[in-house]
């Protein structure tokens, strides 16, 4: 079942979305293949620690988060990928590793790759390893208000 918090938020804001069920998959490539979605359209959420504070980096599943470049872009002292035990309790209704890119619902800053921001639609984990949501990128941007950066 997708994250109730996320679904309620989208419905309250009258956002049109499509829920896509797929076979259980854990890596971004497996998810894209299983759901028949191009890797550039599939958004991968990476939980980071930026100067000790949790944040989300969201980029196409086909790429990696360059923490060095993100550190430079933000003028941060330290940017590192957070360990699962450091954030699992922040997303109680989500399976670990399937967090949706709505950091605003969890008190986190959200940074989106400039390449993903150019896509007309994005798809992302809906809180489980068997479901994705697809929606217009402009709706995502309006609701989340992410900082778009090159990383």
Tens place of pLDDT per residue across the chain (151 aa): 788 999 999 999 999 999 999 989 888 778 887 887 877 789 999 999 999 999 999 999 888 899 999 999 999 999 999 999 999 999 999 999 999 999 999 999 999 999 999 999 999 999 999 999 999 999 999 999 999 999 8
- Which residues share a beta bridge with 48? 55, 81
What is the rounded CA–CA span in Å between residue 60 and residue 89? 25
- Coil/strand/helix, residue 102: coil
- Which tokens hold the place of 11? 């419905």
pLDDT of amino acid 32:
81
pLDDT of amino acid 76:
97
- Coil/strand/helix, residue 64: coil
pLDDT of amino acid 63:
81
Which residues does 96 contact at the CB level (< 8 Å), separation at least 6?
A: 84, 88
Instruction: Supply the range of the domain harboring residue 95.
Output: 4-149
Report the predicted TM-score, pTM, of the whole model to 2 decimal places: 0.93
pLDDT of amino acid 3:
87
Q: With CA atoms as reference, report the closest residue to 149 among 82, 81, 71.
A: 71
Q: How many domains does the chain have?
A: 1
Q: CATH number for the domain including 43? A: 3.90.960.10
């Amino acid at each position: 079942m997708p994250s109730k918090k996320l679904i309620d938020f989208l419905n309250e804001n009258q956002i049109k979305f499509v829920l896509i069920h797929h076979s259980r998959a854990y890596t971004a490539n497996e998810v894209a293949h299983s759901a028949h979605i191009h890797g550039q359209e599939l958004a991968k959420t990476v939980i980071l620690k930026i100067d000790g504070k949790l944040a989300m980096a969201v980029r196409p599943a086909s790429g990696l988060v360059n923490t060095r470049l993100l550190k430079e872009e933000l003028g941060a002292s330290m940017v590192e990928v957070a360990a699962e035990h450091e954030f699992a309790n922040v997303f109680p209704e989500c399976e670990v590793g399937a967090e949706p890119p709505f950091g605003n619902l969890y008190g986190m800053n959200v940074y989106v790759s400039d390449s993903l921001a150019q896509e007309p639609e994005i798809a992302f984990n809906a809180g489980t390893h068997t479901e994705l949501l697809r929606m217009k990128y402009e709706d995502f941007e309006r609701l989340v208000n992410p900082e778009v950066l090159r990383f």
